[in-house]
Amino acid sequence: MVRGKLIFVTGGARSGKSSYAERMAAELGEKVVYLATAQARDEEMKRRIATHKARRPAHWVTIEEPLAVAEVIRQQGPRTEVILLDCLTVLVSNLLLQEENKYQTEETAEENEVRILNTIDDMITAARESPCHVIVVSNEVGMGVVPPYPMGRLYRDLIGKANQMVAEAADEVFFLVSGIPLKIKG
């Protein structure tokens, strides 16, 4: 079975991850699907989304899907050359906030953590089985301060685990520092 590469691009906030991943996607193929996980829930996020859209080539297909990214990868993989998922960090946030009311007990939090990580595992499986290249962008949040509240710590921990899962499965991993990509795997 022919499959594309799974490429993971990570780094801090405003490190140049998305721009780098977009350049990489353009180099890997003409047919690109931009899989956006962000939701425009406030004015600031609307501006961020507009900025991202403005710098993408007009012929790229944009699919906005905040939760079911594995399904999109499975559906679009045979039809395109590259899928750029931007970003894993927002996907985990969406999955976590989808179940926010259920974090009343430790047992429920553990069950939801398993559900979220299973969703990430399904996304990785879809990407590894895809005939096209899949680029996943994510923030490296583990280098910052420890959040002062339980939901923030849970989110940070989930991102750390999700990033590790994707990095382990990836063919190539890039870490961006101040706009400079460092290839750390592949």
Which pLDDT tens digit goes with each residue over 70-109? 999 999 999 999 999 999 999 999 998 885 555 555 557 7
* Domain presence at residue 11: yes
* Domain presence at residue 99: yes
* Residue ranges for the chain with pLDDT beneath 70: 1, 99-107
CATH of the domain at 152: 3.40.50.300
6 sits in the region (left: phi over 0; alpha: psi -120 to 50; else beta) called beta
Distance CA(72)–CA(83), nearest Å, equals 9
| 62 annotated as belonging to a binding site for a ligand | no
Quote the domain boundaries for residue 161: 6-185
* Domain presence at residue 1: no
Q: In total, how many domains does the chain have? A: 1
* Domain presence at residue 18: yes
- What's the pTM value of the predicted model, to 2 decimals? 0.92
* Domain presence at residue 17: yes
Instruction: Specify burial of residue 91 (Cβ count, 10 A radius: 0-12, 13-18, 19+).
Output: buried
Run of H or E residues at 54: helix 43-55
Q: Provide the pLDDT for residue 107.
A: 56
Contact 174, 182 (CB under 8 A): yes
Distance CA(150)–CA(2), nearest Å, equals 43
Give the residue from 83, 72, 78, 90 showing the smallest Cα distance to 6.
83
Distance CA(37)–CA(34), nearest Å, equals 10
Q: Active-site residue 59, yes or no? A: no
| 14 annotated as belonging to a binding site for a ligand | yes
Give me 64's structure tokens.
């906005």
| 156 annotated as belonging to a binding site for a ligand | no
Residue tagged active-site, from 5, 31, 52, 161: 52
| 19 annotated as belonging to a binding site for a ligand | no
